[in-house]
Amino acid sequence: MKTSEIRQRWLDYFGERGHTVVPSASLVSEDPTVMFTIAGMVPFIPYLTGLIPAPYPRATSVQKCIRTNDIEEVGKTPRHGTFFQMTGNFSFGDYFKEGAIGYAWELLTSAESSGGYGFDEKDLWVTVYKDDDEAIALWKRIAGLPDERIQRLDKDTNYWSTGHPGPAGPSSEIFFDRGPAYGADGGPATDDDRYVEIWNLVFMQYAIENVTSKTNFDIVGELPSKNIDTGLGLERVAFLKQGVENMYEIDQVRPVLDRASELSGRRYGAVHDDDVRMRVIADHVRSSLMLMSDGVTPSNEGRGYILRRLLRRSVRAMRLLGVDGPSFPELFTVSRDAMSASYPEVSQNFDRISQAAYGEEDTFLHTLESGTSILDLAVDSSKKAGKDVLAGDTAFLLHDTYGFPIDLTLEIADEAGLTVDRDAFDSLMSQQKQRAKADAKSKKSHVADLSVYSAFRAHGETQFLGYTE
State the burial class of residue 339 (Cβ atoms within 10 Å of its Cβ: 0-12, 13-18, 19+): buried
Contact range with ligand ATP by CB under 6 A, out of 209-217, 232-240, 250-258, 368-376: 232-240
Phi/psi of residue 152, nearest 5 degrees? -95, 120
Q: How far apart are CB 247 and Mg ion at their closest, in Å?
A: 13
Q: Cβ 128 to Mg ion, closest distance in Å?
A: 13
Question: Judged by CB, which is closer to Mg ion: 80, or 303?
Answer: 80
Question: Of 50, 75, 166, 233, which one interacts with ligand ATP (CB under 6 A)?
Answer: 233
Closer CB to ligand ATP, residue 48 or residue 420?
48
Least Å distance, CB 127 to Mg ion, is: 9
Nearest residue (CB) to ligand ATP, 86 versus 408: 86
The residue count for binding ligand ATP (CB under 6 A) is 17
Candidate segments 8-16, 29-37, 75-83, 303-311, binder of ligand ATP by CB under 6 A: 75-83
Alpha carbon of 210 to those of 140, 227, 276, 304, 427: distances in Å?
Answer: 34, 22, 45, 37, 39
Q: How far is the CB of 358 from ligand ATP (least distance, A)?
A: 27
Nearer CB in complex with Mg ion: 135/379: 135
Number of helices (H), then strands (E), in the chain: 16, 11
x-or-dash string of contact with ligand ATP, 164-203, rule CB under 6 A: ---------------------------------xxxx---
Q: Which is nearer to ligand ATP, 9 or 319 (CB)?
A: 9
Minimum CB distance to Mg ion smaller for 239 or for 350: 239
CB of 166 to ligand ATP, least distance (A): 19
What phi and psi, each to the nearest 5 degrees, are found at residue 418?
A: -115, 155
Q: Which is nearer to Mg ion, 197 or 229 (CB)?
A: 197
What does the alpha-carbon distance between residue 204 and residue 227 come to, in Å, rounded to a whole number? 5
Phi-psi region of 163 (alpha: psi -120 to 50; beta: other; left: phi over 0): left
**229 DSSP β-pair partners:** 90, 202
Helix (H) or strand (E) holding 369: helix 350-384
Query: Taking the complex as a whole, how short is the minimal distance between the CB of residue 247 and ligand ATP, in angstroms?
Result: 6
Q: How does DSSP assign 248-294, residue by residue?
A: GGSTTTHHHHHHHHHHHT--TTT-HHHHHHHHHHHHHHHHHHHHHHT
Nearest Cα residue to 137 out of 123, 147, 125:
147
Which residues fall within 8 angstroms of residue 301, CB to CB, at 6 or more apart? none
According to the binding rule CB under 5 A, does residue 230 interact with Mg ion?
Answer: no
**Between 40 and 93, CB nearer to ligand ATP:** 40
Residues 163-222 that bind Mg ion (CB under 5 A): 197, 200
Of residues 82 and 314, the one with the C-beta less far from ligand ATP: 82
Pick from Mg ion, ligand ATP, none: which does 382 bind, CB < 5 to 8 A by kind? none
| CA 409 to the chain's CA centroid | 24
Q: Which of 88, 343, 286 is nearest to 198 (CA)?
A: 88
Smallest CA-to-CA distance from 387 within 355, 363, 414, 419 is with: 419
Binding test (CB under 6 A) with ligand ATP, winner from 41, 128, 232, 353: 232
CB of 173 to Mg ion, least distance (A): 5
Site string for ligand ATP, 15-44 (x = CB under 6 A): ------------------------x-----
Q: Residue 40 CA to chain centroid, in angstroms?
A: 11
Q: Which of 22, 86, 107, 168 binds ligand ATP (CB under 6 A)?
A: 86
Beta strands in 15-115 (DSSP E): 20-21, 58-66, 83-92
Residues in binding contact with Mg ion, number by CB under 5 A? 2
- The distance in angstroms from the start CA to the end CA of the chain is 46
Q: Measured from the CB atom, is 43 or 231 closer to Mg ion?
A: 231
Closest separation in Å from C-beta 232 to ligand ATP: 6
| Contacting positions for ligand ATP (CB under 6 A) | 39, 67, 70, 79-81, 84, 86, 197-200, 231-233, 235-236
| Contacting positions for Mg ion (CB under 5 A) | 197, 200
